[in-house]
Every structure is written in structure tokens, then in C-alpha cells.
């Protein structure tokens, strides 16, 4: 901890700081032990217009030391259940793992961990079932997803986050209920729906990290069988997620500590994916579609409650 008045005192001294400040302890002795950060546009707005501030460093192992044995066991169980679901359905791990793990650990620890595990899971599904990938669906979705990402970078600063998040949650919840009730329907939508599905997937994924449901809804109503669905969704997520993963690396979110945590969680993820894969092969098409609808209901409720 800093020797002076703490984070608030250091932040009050920021007007005197030079733009290139990267070692606050040298220029501001009272700030030794704190980290100087440039803020994102959204954080600038929340920080009263200041473009930077001092924050405490997040030490992963210090965070883990604060967890009781029961909390550590619960964390492992959450990861296991999340990737069991992903092994069955091909998605849904982040919707389960992030909100539950965030009850015990900071998001700075949770989100990078789940992003890497999801990326590895998508790679395993895409590679192992590459013959089932419907590339024409991937190719038609990705350009619109890229446009959605670009749009989100602008909207990021303009629209109230809570309003957008709740609207998204309500939409997903209502559509999931409709999807659940229309499981018997053999209706197949036009490929033109790739424009709103891909655009909203990239847009919402950039804002909240939860763009998957839009890809899911599109593929669900394109009439894909469960194996083609899982392989195609994994490939879309793999390509769409590459940019986000690169952003985490470029922003310095991945430290040796975080990679160590990924290595610890990896065996749990692999075992759960394999178990989910075995369940997937024994699951009927209608049961699979019901499972997708229930996961989407959970996704919508999670967004509404956040």
C-alpha cells in the first residue's frame, strides 16, 4: 500500500503528472505501490472526466489466498459445470462461469481466464469436427460481425450501458421462450438474417462479451443439425474471438500469474468438455434444441439482473 494518503491522495496529484508517467513511485513517493493507468473512454466518463488515475495492482495469488477451501472447490465446480454445458451445446460456458466466478474473484481475473478457456474449447470443437463446419454460414456472418465491432466502439461512449444491457437481456429472454415453444417447427430462416445476427453478435459481444446468443439464434433457425451447429458456432467464436484475445494481450491483461491460473483450470475444462461431448452424441435433436433455449433463458436473466 502507498505510504501517504492512499489512492485518493495520489489521484488528486494527477494534474501535476506528465503524460508519460509510468513509475508513479519516483515522481510521487506517496504513490509507490500503486499502478498508473490510462482509462478507456467509458471509464473516463465514470471517473469524472479524468483520463487517467492510480489504482491498486491486482495480484492474482493474493486474490486466491483470500478464498476459503470451500470457495476454491466451488470455483472448480463452476468451471466444470460451465464446460460440461459447452461440451454438450457448443456454447454457454461464459454465461455460466463469468457471473458466478465474479461473486468470489475480481472480473480482472475472471474474464481473461474464461476468454482463454473458451478460445481453447472453440479450437478443440472446430478442429475435431472440422468436416461438419458449414463455412458458407461462417463466411456470411463474419463481415457483419466486424461491422458490429466497429459500431460498438463508437456507441461505447454514447449509450447508457445499463439500458442497453437490460434491453438485450429482455430480447434474448423473450426470443428464448419463443424458441422453446416452437421446437417442433421445421421453419428455416433466410440467410439474409445473417446481417442482423452477425452485426448484433459483433456489436453486443464487443460491449458486453455476450454476443454468442445472436449467433446461436441464427444457426438454430438455419436448420443445422446438432453436430454441424456445434462445429460451426465454435469456428465463428474462434475467428470472432481472435480479435478480443489479441486485445487482452496488447492491453497487458495476461500476466504470468493469469497464464498459471489457466494452466490450473485447463485439466478441469478438458475433462468436462470430453464428458459433455459424450452426452452430446447421445442427445436427441429436440432435446438439444430445448437445452439451447434453456441456456438462452439463463443468459437473458443474467443480463437483466446485472
- Cβ distance 261 to 156 under 8 Å? no
Q: How far is CA 289 from the centre of its chain?
A: 22
Please state, for a pLDDT cut of 90, what percent of the chain lies above it: 5
* Domain limits, the chain: 7-57, 64-305
* pLDDT given for residue 29 in this prediction: 44
Please check the confidence at residue 80 and state whether its pLDDT lies above 90: yes
pLDDT digits over 195-249, tens only?
A: 998 888 888 776 666 667 788 888 888 888 777 887 888 888 888 777 667 766 7
147-182: burial string, b at 16+ Cβ within 10 Å, e else: ebbebbeeeeeeeeeeebbbebbebbbebbeebeee
Q: Which of 53-67, 121-135, 261-275 has the highest mean pLDDT?
A: 261-275
- One-character DSSP codes across 189-245: --GGGHHHHHHHHHHHHHHHS--HHHHHHHHHTTT--HHHHHHHHHHHHHHHHHHHH
Dist. CA 92–CA 280, nearest whole Å: 14
pLDDT grade, residue 269 (50/70/90)? very high
Q: Are 232 and 137 in contact (CB under 8 A)?
A: yes
For the four alpha carbons of 253, 96, 297 and 282, in that order, the dihedral sign comes to positive
Residue 267 pLDDT > 90: yes
**pLDDT at position 79:** 93
What pLDDT, in 10s, does the model give residues 100-131?
A: 787 788 766 787 788 788 888 877 766 666 67
Distance CA 217, CA 189 (A): 10
State residue 159's pLDDT score.
65
The DSSP call for residue 56 is: E
Q: What is the reported pLDDT for 32?
A: 41
pLDDT at 136: 85
Determine the pLDDT at residue 18.
39
More reliable by pLDDT, 259 or 129? 259
> Where does residue 209 fall: left (phi above 0), alpha (psi -120 to 50 degrees), or beta otherwise?
left
50-59 confidence digits (pLDDT tens): 444 434 445 6
Q: Given phi > 0 = left and psi -120 to 50 = alpha, else beta, which region is 190?
A: beta
**Distance, first Cα to last Cα, the chain:** 31
Mean pLDDT of all residues belonging to the chain: 71
Three cell numbers written together for 41? 473512454
The phi and psi torsions of 5 (rounded to 5 degrees) equal -85, 5
Window from 64-73, 132-141, 177-186 with minimum mean pLDDT: 177-186
* Higher pLDDT, residue 3 or 86: 86
Helix (H, G, I), strand (E, B) or coil at 127: helix
Amino acid at each position: 500500500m502507498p505510504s501517504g494518503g492512499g489512492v485518493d491522495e495520489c489521484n488528486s496529484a494527477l494534474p501535476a503528472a506528465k503524460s508519460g508517467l509510468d513509475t508513479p513511485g519516483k515522481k510521487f513517493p506517496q504513490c509507490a505501490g500503486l499502478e498508473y493507468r490510462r482509462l478507456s473512454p467509458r471509464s473516463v466518463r465514470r471517473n469524472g472526466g479524468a483520463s487517467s488515475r492510480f489504482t491498486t495492482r491486482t495480484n492474482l495469488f493474493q486474490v486466491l489466498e483470500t478464498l476459503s477451501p470451500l470457495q476454491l472447490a466451488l470455483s472448480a465446480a463452476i468451471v466444470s459445470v460451465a464446460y460440461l454445458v459447452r461440451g454438450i451445446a457448443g456454447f454457454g460456458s461464459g454465461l455460466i462461469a463469468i457471473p458466478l466466478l465474479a461473486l468470489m474473484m475480481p472480473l480482472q481475473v475472471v474474464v481473461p481466464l474464461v476468454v482463454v478457456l473458451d478460445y481453447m474449447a472453440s479450437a478443440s470443437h472446430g478442429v475435431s469436427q472440422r468436416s461438419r463446419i458449414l463455412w458458407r454460414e461462417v463466411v456470411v456472418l463474419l463481415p457483419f460481425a466486424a461491422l458490429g465491432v466497429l459500431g460498438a466502439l463508437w456507441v461505447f461512449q454514447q449509450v447508457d450501458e445499463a439500458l442497453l444491457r437490460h434491453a438485450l437481456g429482455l430480447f434474448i429472454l423473450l426470443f428464448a421462450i419463443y424458441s422453446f415453444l416452437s421446437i417442433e417447427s421445421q421453419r428455416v430462416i433466410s440467410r439474409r438474417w445473417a446481417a442482423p445476427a452477425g452485426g448484433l453478435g459483433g456489436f453486443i459481444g464487443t460491449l458486453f462479451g455476450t454476443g454468442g446468443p445472436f449467433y446461436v439464434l441464427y444457426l438454430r433457425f438455419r436448420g443445422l443439425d446438432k453436430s454441424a451447429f456445434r462445429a460451426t458456432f465454435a469456428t465463428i467464436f474462434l475467428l470472432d474471438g481472435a480479435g478480443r484475445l489479441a486485445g487482452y494481450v496488447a492491453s497487458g491483461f495476461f500476466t504470468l500469474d493469469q497464464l498459471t491460473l489457466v494452466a490450473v483450470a485447463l485439466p478441469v475444462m478438458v475433462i468436462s468438455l470430453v464428458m459433455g461431448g459424450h452426452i452430446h452424441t447421445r442427445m436427441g435433436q429436440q432435446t438439444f434444441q430445448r437445452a439451447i433455449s434453456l441456456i438462452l433463458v439463463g443468459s437473458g436473466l443474467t443480463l437483466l439482473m446485472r
